[in-house]
Amino acid sequence: MPVTIRDVAQRAGVSKTTVSRVLNGRDELDERTAERVRAVIAELGYVPSARAVAFARGSTHIVAMLLPSLTWPWIGEVVQAAIEAVEDEGYGMLVFTTTQGDESMRRFAEHVSARAFDGLLVVEPGGTLDYITRLHEDGLPVVLVDDRGHEPMFGSVATTNRLGALAAAHHLLEIGRREPLVVSGDPRFGCVQERLAGFAEGFGAAGLTLDPLRAVEGDFTFESGQAAVARALEAGLHFDSLFAHNDTMATGAMAELRRAGLRIPDDVAVVGFDDLPSAAQTDPPLTSVHQPIREMGQAAARALLASFRGTPVPREPIVLPTSFTVRASTVG
């Protein structure tokens, strides 16, 4: 069996903490004690693991990231950007998802208890914000990558959802579209409320009030985009444009519009939100509000890493602006 730090401590007649201090090179130890420990280490051939040395130094050089799932459309972009920022500073990344519900959270909690990482990046799984807040209050550095409009009691990185939707409204009005259909996300999310408000503000400024019947709730999936258009057409609702709260629903909506024999953008101009890399490959390419997803992941990781060096994460959200990308789904 491999030699452990406990074996060294027992042979040298000291505590494991003392062995850790020797491994860490701390000079507050009596030199004779330190020499005895070093001699036992040599005698037993003990090779400390990187984790043991990191623990002795009070740092694992590991960052964790907690996610709902890796299958969300933009999660991959956030994770990759965060990993790049973390690895640039010599840290590693542990990624946890909550796809198995309580069992996933139990395993995550075990890693928290074992101090397996120095800090936590979060794309909040539903219903976990209170737990994450407690971790932060107990001293764990935490930064939230937020697209839901939360304002947590710890650091977060967000984007300008309202202004992004306002830009979508302005664009549709500029190209003469005055009868939009809105395919929203779950209204419990703050980002959905902000996108609804920003879009309504844009049309309101033009003297147009959006009929509530023109807002159809989806769930951010391709299928809900299809279903929203199908319901609107079955109800006989006329619309010359469509604003979906993410690119995935916009893509589903375009598929249903084509199935119904409607031309894009001639009959219906379509705008999405996120501007994922796939938006440029849809048929036709999708006009979309560009959410700075990669930049959000990088900013969150850098803020967390800076906190390890003594720079506190700002309590106010770090807000990165949206922009607008025009493609052929609105301007042929």
Q: Which fold has domain 5-56?
A: 434 Repressor (Amino-terminal Domain) (1.10.260)
Q: What is the structure's pLDDT at 20? A: 73
283 within 8 A of 270, measured Cβ to Cβ: no
Record: fold of 62-159+293-320: Rossmann fold (3.40.50)
Encoded tokens for 207: 């003297």
According to DSSP, the residues that pair with 65 across neighbouring strands are: 95, 121
- Is the model's pLDDT at 244 over the cut of 60? yes
What pLDDT, on the 0 to 100 scale, is given for residue 58?
60
Average pLDDT of the chain?
90
SS (H, E, C) 207-233: CCCCCHHHEEECCCCHHHHHHHHHHHH
pLDDT of residue 315: 83
Max mean pLDDT range (38-52, 60-74, 100-114, 192-206): 192-206
pLDDT over 70 at 25, yes or no: no
Q: Identical fold at 5-56 and 161-291?
A: no
The HSE-up count of residue 232 (CA atoms within 13 Å, CB side) is: 30
3-state secondary structure the chain: CCCCHHHHHHHHCCCHHHHHHHHHCCCCCCHHHHHHHHHHHHHHCCCCCHHHHHHHCCCCCEEEEEECCCCCCCHHHHHHHHHHHHHHCCCEEEEEECCCCHHHHHHHHHHHHCCCCCEEEECCCCCCHHHHHHHHHCCCCEEEECCCCCCCCCEEEEECHHHHHHHHHHHHHHCCCCCEEEEECCCCCHHHHHHHHHHHHHHHHCCCCCCHHHEEECCCCHHHHHHHHHHHHHCCCCCCEEEECCHHHHHHHHHHHHHCCCCCCCCCEEEEEECCHHHHHCCCCCEEEECCHHHHHHHHHHHHHHHHCCCCCCCCCEEECCEEECCCCCCC
CATH of 161-291, one of 3.40.50.300, 3.40.50.2300, 2.60.120.10, 3.40.50.620: 3.40.50.2300
**Proportion of the chain above pLDDT 90, given as a percent:** 64
Predicted structure pTM score = 0.80
* pLDDT for position 200: 97
Q: Edge to edge, what strands does the sheet with 269-274 contain?
A: 215-217, 180-184, 241-244, 269-274, 287-290, 323-325
- Is residue 157 predicted with pLDDT exceeding 80? yes
Q: Is 103 exposed, middle or buried (0-12, 13-18, 19+ CB in 10 A)?
A: exposed
Q: What is the pLDDT of residue 253?
A: 98
Q: List the domain boundaries for the chain.
A: 5-56, 62-159+293-320, 161-291
Please name the residues in contact with 225: beta carbons below 8 A apart, sequence gap of 6 or more: 183, 218, 244, 248, 249, 250, 251, 252, 253, 254, 255, 256
> From its phi and psi, is residue 169 left (phi > 0), alpha (psi between -120 and 50) or beta?
alpha
Q: CA 79, CA 36: separation in Å to the nearest integer?
A: 46
Q: Residue 300: pLDDT band by 50, 70, 90 thresholds? A: very high
- Distance (Å, whole) CA 329 – CA 83: 33
Q: How far apart are CA 272 and CA 255, in angstroms?
A: 14
User: Do the Cβ atoms of 162 and 192 come closer than 8 Å?
Assistant: no
**Which letter, b or e, does each residue of 46-69 get, where b requires 16 or more Cβ atoms within 10 Å of its Cβ?**
bebeeebebbbeeebbbbbbbbbe
Spatial separation of the C-alpha atoms in residues 94 and 96, rounded to whole Å: 7
Q: Once rounded to an integer, what is the mean pLDDT over residues 203-226?
A: 94
